[in-house]
Amino acid sequence: MDLLLLDINPVAFQLGPISVRWYGLLIVSGILIAYFVGQKEAVKRGLPEDFIADLLLWVVPISIVCARIYYVSMRWDYYGQNPGKIIEIWNGGIAIHGALLGGFATAYIFTRIKGVSFLRVADIAAPSILIGQIIGRWGNFMNQEAYGGPVSREFLENLMLPDWIINQMYIEELGTHVHPTFLYESVWNVIGLIILLALRKVNLNRGEIFFSYIIWYSIGRFYIEGLRTDSLYLVGDLRSAQVVSIIGIVVGLVAIIYRRLKVKPAIKYLDNK
């Protein structure tokens, strides 16, 4: 039986000698959709109309650079011997945690310069970050990367997945189907997005939507990372993404509790100040 009933090409189209890949298109699409959603909420919450656009002009390129730095640092045993390949980002090799850390740091500095509360902006942006991650993970699907260990086709069929996903989860080099961990994370983030949008209506204390995002994403990433076969490791079998996820959960919980106890009077999400 031909398992590749639908041949999914990671290259969307050619522009002369340039191959435009679905991965890049999906990343850009995720950023644009996230921007429009965040922009609408930012204006609604009293921020200047150009605030989010100006922020993204700094956050996007710095996040990409940090994502690459994070990845290279975790695989320095290879890149230290091949320094010329460090800049070859077009051959793959970026890490979402590097992008998030770089983006958060850039946003913090930007908001301080603008005289705006970082947590106010972070609460507004948190659902948009998830939107970008939801769409971006489908780039991994197109590239047949970031997948998990071997599973049977029957296992995937029992998940009620369509054939075009099941077929793409057959890795020819391995001769087997694999866990669609890209899909697990994408679905987890969709649920998280629904939760964050609902929390806006609850009118939580400032920062709690952002910290809830960190906690939610970290919980899902910790378990999903354990299924993946392409993890970055700190030492031995210690997966860096799981370590960062644990730190994220702890930081998120501690921040919420600390601010509830110590920050008085509490500013709410819907307070435009």
pLDDT digits (tens, 9 = 90+) for 18-67: 888 898 899 999 999 999 999 999 999 999 999 999 999 999 999 999 99
- Token digits of residue 228: 């993946």
**How wide is the angle at C-alpha 181 spanned by C-alphas 176 and 182, nearest 5°?**
115
The whole-number pLDDT of residue 4 equals 43
In three-state secondary structure terms, 48 is: coil
The answer to whether residues 57 and 177 touch, using CB atoms and an 8 Å cutoff, is no
Distance CA 194, CA 127 (A): 9
Model confidence over 231-253: pLDDT tens digits? Answer: 999 988 899 999 999 999 999 99
206 among the known binding-site residues? Answer: no
Among 107, 127, 100, smallest CA distance to 200 is for: 127
The whole-number pLDDT of residue 6 equals 52
Domain ranges of the chain: 11-262
Across the range 11-15, mean pLDDT stands at 86
Model confidence over 171-213: pLDDT tens digits? Answer: 999 999 999 999 999 999 999 999 999 999 999 999 999 999 9
Report CA-CA distances (Å) from 66 to 73, 85, 112, 208, 272.
Answer: 10, 16, 20, 25, 32
The answer to whether residues 190 and 134 touch, using CB atoms and an 8 Å cutoff, is yes
Residue 265, preceding bond cis, omega within 30 degrees? yes
